[in-house]
Each structure stands twice: as structure tokens, then as C-alpha cells.
Amino acid sequence: MGRSHYFCAMQKDTLVFDLLRKELDRQRHGIELIASENFTSLQVIQAMGSVATNKYAEGYPGKRYYGGCEVIDEIETLAIERLKKVFNASWANVQPHSGAQANSAVFLACLKPGDKILGLDLSMGGHLTHGSPANISGKYYQALHYGVKKDTGIVDYDQLEQIALAEKPKMIICGASAYSRDWDYARIRAVADKIGALVMADIAHPAGLIAKGLLNDPFDHCHIVTSTTHKTLRGPRGGIIMLRHDFENPWGLKDPKGNTRTMSQLLDLAVFPGAQGGPLEHVIAAKAIAFGEILTDEFTAYGKNVINNAQAMAKAMVNRGYNLISNGTDNHLMLIDLRNKNLTGKKAQETLDKAHITLNKNAVPFDDKSPFVTSGIRIGVPAITSRGMNEAHMETVAGFIDKVLTKIDDEATIAGVKNDVNTFMKQFPLYPELG
């Protein structure tokens, strides 16, 4: 039997596709408030399910280890050129499989095992890959941490400077996973310059807002910038690394053959062959589509709506007596301390799930509970903004959340809110083309 006949004769895997249908229904019927999530365009989904998944393409455009990459080279080059235009960068690598992989590649390019790095503490809103002892960044490198001020919830730049001057880390990392305020990149660079440190900005969360000029631009102050391509960029799940200005590496770092390289060359080598093998070219095709979408005026309007919705949601939650870390937000998310409501983040997340409202438990600064329980929740609005919600809808969503959390053990209330949520979401259709 020929291969084509074989594929035609293969039985459809109804179990998997039935589960995918269930997941589509879950996404359609619920309110998605996880700050790391978004809804891509249908074009992005189609590219990820395309024939590009069949092609192995180790290496870079024009320098592959396999034949038959001429079309793939065009796709990856298009993704690179669009990304450079999005952020006004001079160089970009679109191959990292994730934001974590992008960060690991930067460390591999710039550091030696045991070198000191300084990042925002995970318990203060930082990211796992910024030196957590559970992560390779905290196992291979000597991780130091700064935090936020207890009275304001804002990054403690004085503490950052004190630690940097005393410890002289090779790299300072800025960026966060649960921080609702903008960053003072210029001040961080000034500190780094005093000790000859590199600055890496991980903009995974606010990248889409930065791309449209709605938040401070890290590129002229930070040597290297990494990001995911989902979250506020609204693309497929993946990572990227960028430079606005390439530079000679400051410590005479050399490649495995002993040649002195520029930072862009070292970063390329760190991604492949240093940290990864064959790139996911179907994902890179989807990245190219997302970057093209970001360049439109429609995405500018989307970014503005995200910030407006986040601030409206923050106001609605404060008006209901919730304690927001830093008392508000500049970006797409907010962190809420539930201790004044006598609730844990774990209990809140699990109960809201029953009402088809999805968010995540999250540690708050100076938390007295374990990371598996937490005292807080994190709320983000990129996904519901993509569904078409505006500021007026944030009041409704906040009301749903408050109703559940106020009567958290009342199953009838939870069931009632679930029905209300399902009815409410019918006005925001998701992927109607999928039937």
C-alpha cells in the first residue's frame, strides 16, 4: 500500500479531537483572566498546524545543516525582519522554543557557571528564570535578588543599586511575572554601567504594549531584550531574543573555537547549537504572522484597550475592597492580596474555576503562605480584550469575581455565577470559523 493510501486509510483519532473540541468549548464559555494567556488570530493557529511542521532546519537562513530549506529560509527571514521592525531592533533570533529557552541562551552566551546575576525575587513578582533556586538560572549561576518596597509595592531601585555595587554581578535582569508597574530601565542601566554589568530585559509580559510605545522602551538602556511571543504580543507560544544595538562583547568572550565574536553572533551560537537543535518552523511561521499583525493600527488600538481595561478592572476591584499591590496598574495585569478577605489564592483560584472564571493563585510580596497556597491572585486582561471587551465590561467581570469570593463556600452562588458567565460570554464569539 502506498504512503498516500496509507494516510487516507488511517482512522481519525476521535478521542484527541473530541478533547480539543472540549477545550475550544471551555475557552468559548469562560472568562480568561490568566495574565500569561491570550487568543491568537485564526491565521496563527492555521500556520502552527501547517506543513512547515514537517521540515527539519537546524541552523539559520542560508546556513542550514539540511537540504530543502529554501522556502523555510524565506519564512524565518520574514519573521526576523518583521520582528526587527516591530521593536526597531537591528538583530533578532526567532528560534527559542520559549521565553525560558531564550533566557537560558542569553546566560549561556554571556556568563560562565558560577557568575553572579541579579534579578527580581520570585516571591516579589519575579520570574522563575531570573535566578530561582529551582531553575537552571539559580543552579548554574550565583543568583542575587532585589525586591519591592513594602509600603508601595514598587521595585526598590535603591536596594538594587546597593546589592549591585556590593556584589558586582555580571548581569542585572529586569522584568517580572507578576508586577503591574512600568520599569525605570535608564536607572538600572546607570547602575550597571558603574560596575560594568550587562543588562537583560525580559519583557515577556508587557512586550505588546512596549511594541506600540505605550510603556517605557527598554532597548536603548538594556543590552539584550528577551520575550515570549504570546501574552500581550498575541502570537504563538514561543520565545525571541533581540538587540537594538549590536556590540563587541565586553569581556572578550569567545566562541567554542576561540574566536572573538559580537554579541549577536554569540547569541545565535547560544541558541543553536548551544541550547537547542532543530527550530520549530511551523511556530516561526506563526510568529511571522503575529509580528505582521502587531505592525497594524488595529494592534495599536488593542494595546490601548488592554491598558484601559486593566485600569478599569483595578478600579472596580479596589471599589469592592480588594487590596491591589502598588494600588493599581500601568500594564495589563494586577496582583491582589486576599488576606484582608481571609482567603488564600489557592482557594480563590479553585472556586473561581467552578464558575468558569480562570485566573491563577500568586504569591504577593512578603507573603506568609507557601507558593502552593499563596495569599494572592493575579488578574490579566489581554485575553478578554481580544474577545472584544471594553472598560464597561470590566465592572461586570469584577462583579462576578466578587460574588464568588464573597460567598466562596456557597455552591448555589457559584453555580449561578457560572450560568451568568456562560450567558455573558455569548456576546463575544471565539473562532466562529471553527464551527
pLDDT in tens, 45-100: 999 999 999 999 999 999 999 999 999 999 999 999 999 999 999 999 999 999 99
Give yes or no for a contact between 235 and 290, defined as CB atoms under 8 angstroms apart: yes
Distance CA 154, CA 430 (A): 36
126 labelled ligand-binding: yes
Residue 202 is among the residues annotated as catalytic for this protein:
yes
Distance CA 57, CA 72 (A): 8
Q: What is the pLDDT of residue 1?
A: 46
Residue 411 is among the residues annotated as catalytic for this protein:
no
122 labelled ligand-binding: yes
Catalytic residue among 58, 182, 246, 420: 58
The more confident residue out of 3 and 116 is 116
Domains of the chain: 18-35+297-426 (3.90.1150.10), 47-295 (3.40.640.10)
Using only C-alpha atoms, the chain has a radius of gyration, in whole angstroms, of 22
386 labelled ligand-binding: no
Give yes or no for a contact between 170 and 182, defined as CB atoms under 8 angstroms apart: no
Cell numbers that stand for 234 in this block: 498575541
**Residue 276, phi-psi category: left (phi > 0), alpha (psi -120 to 50), beta (remainder):** beta
pLDDT exceeds cutoff 70 at 3 = no
The closest of 385, 238, 394, 429 to 317, measured between CA atoms, is: 394
Catalytic residue among 231, 244, 347, 387: 231
332 labelled ligand-binding: no
Distance CA 432, CA 128 (A): 36
Q: Would you place residue 130 in the very low, low, confident or very high pLDDT band (cuts 50, 70, 90)?
A: very high
Q: What is the pLDDT of residue 259?
A: 78
Q: Grid cell 546566560 — which residue?
A: 107
Residue 181 is among the residues annotated as catalytic for this protein:
no
Distance CA 90, CA 247 (A): 11
The closest of 221, 210, 213, 149 to 184, measured between CA atoms, is: 221
Distance CA 146, CA 427 (A): 44
% helix, strand, coil for the chain, step of 5: 50, 15, 35
Catalytic residue among 64, 170, 237, 378: 237
Residue 228 is among the residues annotated as catalytic for this protein:
yes
Q: What is the pTM of this model?
A: 0.94
pLDDT in tens, 261-312: 899 999 999 999 999 999 999 999 999 999 999 999 999 999 999 999 999 9
365 labelled ligand-binding: no
The mean pLDDT value for 352-377 works out to: 97
pLDDT in tens, 165-177: 999 999 999 999 9
Mean pLDDT of all residues in the chain? 95
